């Protein structure tokens, strides 16, 4: 099963937009808009403030935005995902970037809300130039505000020039503790993703990924077929997907199971 950019973006979109949003009337997005606008003016980078509840984004561009064809005027788009920017990123790198954010999302949901602002992602991605070649830039994702019920409300993506222009394999994606500089071990946030499912559900999803049907799985695990059906439905509900095929794709890109 080959995983495409659209597969991964679909899973990321479902994870972030299908949260249970309960408005916090004490908070105003204007405060965060002003902070991002000020930061971009100083750094001359590109900042995208995404509102997952309203499914829209506010794009702030300094002089660095020219690499994406952006002007220095602030814009609003009717999507929480900046597809015009994503389309200029190398296809392999954008898949890795979306996978990293899926893992970041699950990691953030596994820790206390008061600790969430301590962590951000960092990666080095390739962006297509006007002549068709690629150059490296730095990318960060920060979940800047969660609602009282734990749902992630606002995210900030930052795009800036990179001083490291040496070609390398992959995006070197990391989740970083911004207070200490510690890089969070991959095993830690993959385990956070695995915590979505029970051990039995993980076993069943792994067997589905290997191509086994429900009757074969029941025989393999020595359980009733209707129990397999029940677990498969629980997997679909927990992973917020339409069917187990989509659950397998999500699990593969997040590193929960391998094909």
Quick one: CA dihedral 1, 99, 139, 148, positive or negative?
positive
Residue ranges of the chain assigned to CATH 3.30.450.20: 5-191
Task: Evaluate whether 250 touches 257 at the Cβ level (below 8 Å).
Answer: no
H or E stretch at 39: helix 29-43
Please state which of the ranges 109-113, 143-147, 158-162 shows the lowest mean pLDDT: 109-113
Q: How confident is the model at residue 187 (pLDDT cuts 50, 70, 90)?
A: confident
Cα–Cα distances in angstroms (integers) from residue 153 to residues 67, 80, 120, 144, 211, in the given order: 28, 10, 15, 8, 37
Chain CA centroid to CA 100, Å: 6
Q: What are phi and psi of 150, to 5 degrees?
A: 100, -10
For 215, the enclosing helix (H) or strand (E) is helix 214-221
Residues in the chain: 259
Percentage of residues in the chain having pLDDT higher than 70: 95
Q: What is the dihedral of CA 70, 78, 142, 39, to 10 degrees?
A: 40
Q: Which two tokens stand for residue 40?
A: 């971009």
Query: Does the pLDDT of residue 222 top 70, yes or no?
Result: yes
Which whole number is the average pLDDT over 88-109? Answer: 88
Judged against a pLDDT cut of 90, whether residue 255 lies above it is answered with no
* pLDDT at residue 192, as a whole number: 65
- Determine how many CB atoms are found less than 10 A away from the CB of residue 203: 17
CB atoms within 10 A of CB 157: 22
pTM exceeds 0.75: yes
Which pair of tokens denotes residue 50? 């995404």
**Those residues with Cβ within 8 angstroms of residue 193's Cβ, 6 or more apart along the chain or in another chain:** 102, 103, 106, 107, 254, 255, 256
Domain 196-253, CATH class in plain words:
mainly alpha
Of 57-66, 116-125, 231-240, give the lowest mean pLDDT range: 231-240
Q: Are 173 and 190 in contact (CB under 8 A)?
A: no
Q: Which of 59, 161, 155 is nearest to 102 (CA)?
A: 155
CATH 1.10.10.10 segments of the chain: 196-253
pLDDT (tens digit per residue) in 9-61 = 888 888 899 888 876 655 789 999 999 999 999 999 999 999 999 999 999 99
Contact 43, 103 (CB under 8 A): no
Please give the pLDDT value at position 145. Answer: 92
Least confident of 16-20, 51-55, 186-190, 213-217: 186-190
* Architecture of the CATH domain 5-191: 2-Layer Sandwich (3.30)
pLDDT (mean) for 141-155: 92
């Amino acid at each position: 099963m080959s995983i495409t950019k659209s597969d991964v973006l679909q899973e990321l979109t479902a994870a972030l937009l299908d949260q249970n949003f309960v408005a916090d009337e004490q908070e105003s997005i204007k405060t965060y808009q002003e902070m991002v606008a000020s930061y971009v003016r100083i750094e001359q980078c590109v900042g995208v403030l995404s509102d997952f509840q309203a499914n829209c984004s506010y794009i702030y561009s300094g002089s660095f935005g020219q690499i994406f064809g952006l002007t220095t005027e602030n814009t609003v788009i009717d999507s929480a995902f900046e597809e015009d920017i994503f389309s200029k990123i190398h296809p392999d790198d954008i898949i890795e970037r979306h996978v990293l954010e899926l893992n970041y999302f699950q990691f953030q949901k596994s820790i206390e809300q008061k600790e969430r602002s301590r962590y951000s992602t960092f990666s080095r991605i390739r962006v297509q130039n006007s002549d068709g070649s690629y150059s490296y830039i730095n990318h960060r994702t920060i979940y800047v505000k969660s609602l009282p019920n734990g749902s992630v409300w606002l995210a900030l993506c930052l795009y800036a020039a990179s001083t490291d222009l040496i070609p390398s394999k992959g995006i070197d994606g990391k989740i970083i503790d911004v207070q200490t500089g510690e890089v969070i071990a991959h095993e830690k946030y993959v385990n956070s993703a695995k915590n979505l499912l029970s051990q039995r559900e993980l076993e069943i999803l792994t067997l589905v990924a290997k191509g086994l049907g429900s009757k074969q799985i029941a025989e393999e695990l020595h359980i009733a077929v209707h129990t397999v059906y029940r677990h498969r439905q629980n997997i679909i509900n927990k992973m917020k997907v339409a069917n187990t095929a989509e659950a397998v794709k999500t699990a593969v890109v997040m590193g929960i199971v391998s094909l």
